[in-house]
Chain A
Amino acid sequence: MIRFGLVIWLIVATGVAVGLYHVNYRVKELQEELKRVERDIKQERERLHVLEAEWSYLNRPSRLARLARKHLHMETLQPEQIVRVEQLPPRITRREMPRPGGPEARGDGEDAVPLPRAKPWSLEPQLSAATPFAPGEDAP
């Protein structure tokens, strides 16, 4: 009886020792992995940082201006080209410009902005929520 107990205890002790050994090694392994990951993170951060500096270097205004002159054939923005939203020409109305297949522009929201393919002006009075001309007609 006593020997049986002793054997059980010995088995348990051995089991615990082996378990502990494994856990210990696993922890060491994980610690090494953590170190590796942290080192990688640090390296990535440094690389990111270098890239940020390069991004800033490549985005020097003088360089952008030179590239724009070379490739874009655009002129400097003139004050006349900036207008307020209220100064924009009237938008396309439903009556004048039915859009085949496309969803009807609603007269109450931002989605009513005409697409560039439509002619950007209208001789008809503006029908918008801001300056309602015929509110009943344009309501959704």
Chain B
Amino acid sequence: MTQDSSQRPLRPCQPREAAPPRGWRGWLRGGGRTVRLETGRTRLLVTGLVFACAFAVLGLRVLDVAVLRGAPEPAVAQRDAARVEPSRRADIVDRNGHVLATSLPAPSLYANPREIAEPERVAARLAEILPELSQARAARRMATDRAFIWIKRGLTPRQQARINRLGVPGLYFRTESKRVYPQGKLTAHVVGLTDPDGRGIAGVEKTFDDLLRTARRPLELSLDLRVQHILTDELSRTIQAFQGIGGAGLVMDARTGELVAMASLPSFDPDSPGRASEAARFNRATLGVYEMGSVFKVFTMAGAIDRGVVELGDRFDVSRPIRTGGFSIRDFKPKDAKLTVPEIFMHSSNIGTAKIAREMGTETQQATLRKLGLTTPAQVELPEVGDPMVPTPWRPINTLTISYGHGLAVTPLQLTSAVAATVNGGVRRTPTLLARNDSETIPGERVLKASTSRTMRRMMRLVVAYGTGEKADARGYRIGGKTGTADKLADGRYSSDAHIASFVGAFPIDDPRYVIFAMVDEPKGQSRTFGYATGGWVAAPLVRRVVERAAGILGVPPQGPAHTPEKDDHPLLVKARAQGEDGNVAAD
């Protein structure tokens, strides 16, 4: 402290000796020194008061925030929702939550070619570790003057460790997100694929690409992995047993339109899609269009009965082939008789069905098929949807052949969906691959009368009980269905040795819960099937086994040994016969 300050302590508010202001101010005030001092003091006081008030307010506010209002520290920290960014693509799961597609962190290898001294040697050593790597190409790319090239994306941890051990400068890793399909081939066609940058390029991955990028919850499909496995397993066994070139299968919930299983064989490994052939990548269930053969008789019958064109008791002469325009319609197993409508359906008579179609007319047939969705592409959450091949113009001869499934090619999905509409009471619902909750009311469009649907169910049961689909008769479950054997078109002609064998069935047929379709492409006759490779021999037993294995999983209780009347006593046949004998014979 200086001498001066010790004598005169610092008191800012005390009046001090001050020299009178010079110049015109001092002259103006005229020596009012005390007044000036008083003024200064008052000013200082006011300023001090203002500041004191401001600080008091601040202090009180601090007290208020810190002590009075401030809650204690929360015991459990709350997660800031905004900070959890969807860093990876959402999972895809089946209806039971099993993971079908997920994103895992995987190291990717990149190189800085400027830092690599010996590209050839490095490429050779990398090729030992990464068998898929093209050594020459890698060497060429590493010899360029760029600063960054990808070498291989999505390494396995083992590959990463081995590359690390090489100790080559200029090679680097970057952790990326890699799409992984734990179920592999099993759901490949439905789930689809993504490219290395994580963009969906096939299947559900493509359809819901935007959703999967942003969603935080997994996408739940309607598939049931267990049923999918059973269907795929049985289908591949059958294809093997009959030396077929492929096959397709579908299991659809008849009430909701949910696809519980969808198989297309041969399949491919979605974790290395590059190695899959074009045929394996092809989804036969939704993209492939096929002439389905006799299973189409379901729709001919349904249309004719719904419009009242025929009565069940009407008889049609099936003893002679129909000849029109250099084309003859024959039966696979000719019968020399007049058959009633259920009998025509049961024995799968082409001649009888064509005659019914002739009675029905082209207009009615077109309307029926259109309402059942067989002439327009199916609506389903997949990009791979095939357009049906509809004849233009639709000549009378087309009407006849389409009645038994030739001349109109549809996808298995369309067919299954149309059969579901036929047996579920006559309401068509859009097929879907997304799981529906039970509370949801599913919009549907009535396409057939409930009574028609009931009649069709009984007739489809006849096929399995006594007709061409006998091998689909499962123990414990009443299946109804229809077989189909279609000749394949080859070079514009129908081939006699390349067929498509199919069966479409519903169970329990009295109140169908599920519709099952199975199809085998080009099965060859075996000695144990006496050379037959028809729908009844190939696809019908397949569907039976799928039902026997999957019904329990699907929650359908077995119905116990139901009484099946003798064929001659079956009410539908007896009734039809009685009606027929009443003289109600249709003129043909």
Q: Is the CB of A53 within 8 A of B99?
A: yes
Is A71 interfacial (CB-CB < 8 Å)?
no
Closest Cβ–Cβ distance, residue B261 to chain A (whole Å): 11
Is A134 interfacial (CB-CB < 8 Å)?
no
Q: Is the CB of A2 within 8 A of B9?
A: yes
Interface centre among A49, A60, A79, A80 (most CB of B within 10 A): A79
A64 nearest in chain B by CB position? B229
Q: Is the CB of B476 within 8 A of A62?
A: no
For residue B233, which residues in chain A have a CB less than 8 angstroms away from its CB? 62, 65
Is A113 interfacial (CB-CB < 8 Å)?
no
Q: Is the CB of B104 within 8 A of A79?
A: no
Of the residues B98, B226, B228, B475, contact of A78 by C-beta under 8 Å = B475
The answer for the CA separation of A65 and B236 in the assembled complex, in Å, is 15
A77 nearest in chain B by CB position? B552
A37 nearest in chain B by CB position? B77
Which of the segments B111-119, B180-188, B304-312, B576-584 contacts the partner chain? B180-188
Given A2-B9, A60-B186, decide whether A79 and B551 contact each other with a Cβ distance below 8 A: yes
Q: Is the CB of B186 within 8 A of A62?
A: yes
Q: Is the CB of A65 within 8 A of B99?
A: no
A87 nearest in chain B by CB position? B560
Chain B 70-106 interface mask (CB, 8 Å, partner A; 1/0): 0000000000000000000000000000111010110
The answer for the CA separation of A76 and B230 in the assembled complex, in Å, is 11
Number of interface residues of B (CB under 8 A): 29
The answer for the CA separation of A15 and B551 in the assembled complex, in Å, is 79
Give the interface SS of chain A, mostly helix, strand, loop or mixed: helix
Chain B 454-492 interface mask (CB, 8 Å, partner A; 1/0): 000000000000000000001111000000000000000
A46 nearest in chain B by CB position? B105
Of the residues A46, A57, A79, contact of B474 by C-beta under 8 Å = A79
The answer for the CA separation of A50 and B88 in the assembled complex, in Å, is 13
The answer for the CA separation of A55 and B182 in the assembled complex, in Å, is 9
Is A61 interfacial (CB-CB < 8 Å)?
yes
Is A59 interfacial (CB-CB < 8 Å)?
yes
For residue A56, which residues in chain B have a CB less than 8 angstroms away from its CB? 98-100, 102, 182-183
Q: Is the CB of A65 within 8 A of B551?
A: no
Of the residues A2, A53, A82, contact of B104 by C-beta under 8 Å = A53
For residue B186, which residues in chain A have a CB less than 8 angstroms away from its CB? 60-62
Write the residues of chain B forming the contact surface with A, with a CB cutoff of 8 angstroms.
9, 98-100, 102, 104-105, 180, 182-184, 186, 225-226, 228-230, 233, 474-477, 548-549, 551-552, 557-558, 560
Can you offer 9 A-B residue contacts whose CB atoms are under 8 A?
A: A55-B99, A56-B183, A57-B182, A61-B225, A77-B552, A79-B477, A79-B548, A82-B476, A82-B557
Write the residues of chain A forming the contact surface with B, with a CB cutoff of 8 angstroms.
2, 46, 49-50, 52-57, 59-62, 65, 76-80, 82, 84, 87
Beyond A60-B186, A65-B229, A76-B548, 11 extra complex contacts between A and B, CB < 8 Å: A50-B104, A52-B102, A53-B180, A53-B182, A56-B183, A77-B549, A78-B475, A79-B474, A80-B475, A82-B552, A87-B560
